[in-house]
Amino acid sequence: MQNKLGPLALAFSGGLDTSYCVPKLQEVGWTVHTVFVDTGGTSAAERERIAAQAKAVGAASHHAVDAREKVFDRFVRYLIFGNVLRGEVYPLSVAAERTQQAISVIEVAKQLGAKAVAHGSTGAGNDQIRFDVALRVLAPELQVVTPIREGGVKREESLKYLQDRGLPVPERASAYSVNRGLWGTTWGGGWTHDSWQSPPSELLDPPNPSLPPRDVVIGWQKGVPVSVDGKTYSGAQLVDVLGALCEEFGVGRNVHVGETVLGIKGRVGFEAGAALTLIAAHRELEKLVQTKWQGFWKDHLARFYGDRLHEGQYFDPALRDIEALLESSQQRVTGETRLRFAPGRFQVTGTRSPASLLDRAVATYGEENLLWSGEEARGFARVQAVAPLLAARAQARAESILGQSGDK
């Protein structure tokens, strides 16, 4: 029975569900090749553990793809340009990475001559949609196999399946699922299923409450963060450096409740310090260099962009159009931002840019002006009151007429 169905590429994380998928797929006749796509947040030791886990559960071969810079260039920089936070809280720590993982798995599958691609998503989450949409758009000729979803397999069943066969069980497999990536780490399962249950202390308390505050300067070039305290990094490297600092101070931890792709409510815990600090700093720099209406329209389109990406619709051509606008909006977003870190919190304390619109040669808010006189300001204020004045008068007339009719 072995190999009768041919080669299959499995998106492999090394966790419980994908570890279950390898022997399960082999049982029905697939030759399983595991593909781990590193989208950030994984150490060299962890990558070695994942490769060893794939081998231990019976993979025919294991392939590791470093996609960290691709995630930054293809997704993260646009999420920064748009200051995208789902529900004003969550920085889409998973959606972009899942789409890139699907893209990379498809590339490996084609190299292997695979007939199918598999993933370990359940039938209740968002990831299944993100994987399936990418697979249907980029590789419609490949069969999509989903053992967990198709069998309605629960985590305790996966755990027992591996144990009964003497196969290694990933560490902490029975507690809750953890997804680490470039743009943040998320926790699902367990306490996240109860909206009243508090997160564990590791998500609440800074690791070292006695740390003294620290100031950090982020350099920006056309909306892209390029340096930390004067040292230049690639996009993914900068996120890692800033993320390590945020982790040290316990910055970027929170809980988000929102709509899933399938329309139900979901709750997730996350730690995404680099994402939250970069978005906050970027937004403040934009305020300094952009006009009011640039920010207004960009924010509207960016929210739509984030929603579509979250829902697995990265391949919608409308997103390419929005990316073009986001690119255009960043032409003057160059300069520096200063952040102050303290245990459990951060604050953007300064911004500067050669394209600053905060020009003291024109006017100082609340103090003096050079481009207009006091009498001109009085006339401006009078004109600004015209529309609401006319509306107020019309409302008064209408109430008077209606009141007289009521008396009769």
Question: Given this model, what pLDDT does residue 172 score?
Answer: 63
Question: Given this model, what pLDDT does residue 244 score?
Answer: 96
Cβ atoms of residues 147 and 30 within 8 Å: no
pLDDT higher at 190 or 345: 345
Exposed/middle/buried for residue 375 (C-beta within 10 Å: 0-12, 13-18, 19+)? exposed
Question: Given this model, what pLDDT does residue 77 score?
Answer: 97
> Confidence band (pLDDT; 50, 70, 90) for 406?
low
Distance of CA 362 to the CA centre of its chain: 39
Per-residue pLDDT reduced to its tens digit, 236-274? 999 999 999 999 999 999 999 988 888 889 899 999 999
Question: Given this model, what pLDDT does residue 17 score?
Answer: 92
Largest CA distance in the chain: 92
pLDDT higher at 398 or 145: 145
Give one DSSP letter per residue of 50-73, joined into a string: HHHHHHHTT-SEEEEEE-HHHHII
Number of Cβ within a 10 Å radius of residue 120: 26
Using the predicted structure, report yes or no on whether residue 2 has a pLDDT greater than 60: no
Using the predicted structure, report yes or no on whether residue 405 has a pLDDT greater than 70: no
Cα angle, residue 287 at apex, residues 286 and 290 outer, rounded to 5°:
70
Per-residue pLDDT reduced to its tens digit, 353-377? 999 998 766 555 556 677 777 888 8
Query: Integer distance in angstroms from the first to the last C-alpha of the chain?
Result: 92
Question: Given this model, what pLDDT does residue 155 score?
Answer: 86
Using the predicted structure, report yes or no on whether residue 1 has a pLDDT greater than 50: no
SS3 190: helix
**Contacts for 152 with CB less than 8 Å, ≥ 6 apart:** 123
- The one-letter code for the residue type at 112 is L
Q: Return d(Cα 80, Cα 65) in angstroms, integer.
A: 24
Question: Given this model, what pLDDT does residue 229 score?
Answer: 98
The dihedrals phi and psi of 25, each to the nearest 5 degrees, come to: -70, -35
Question: Given this model, what pLDDT does residue 202 score?
Answer: 77
Question: Given this model, what pLDDT does residue 375 score?
Answer: 86
Per-residue pLDDT reduced to its tens digit, 100-146? 999 999 999 999 999 999 999 988 788 899 999 999 999 999 999 99
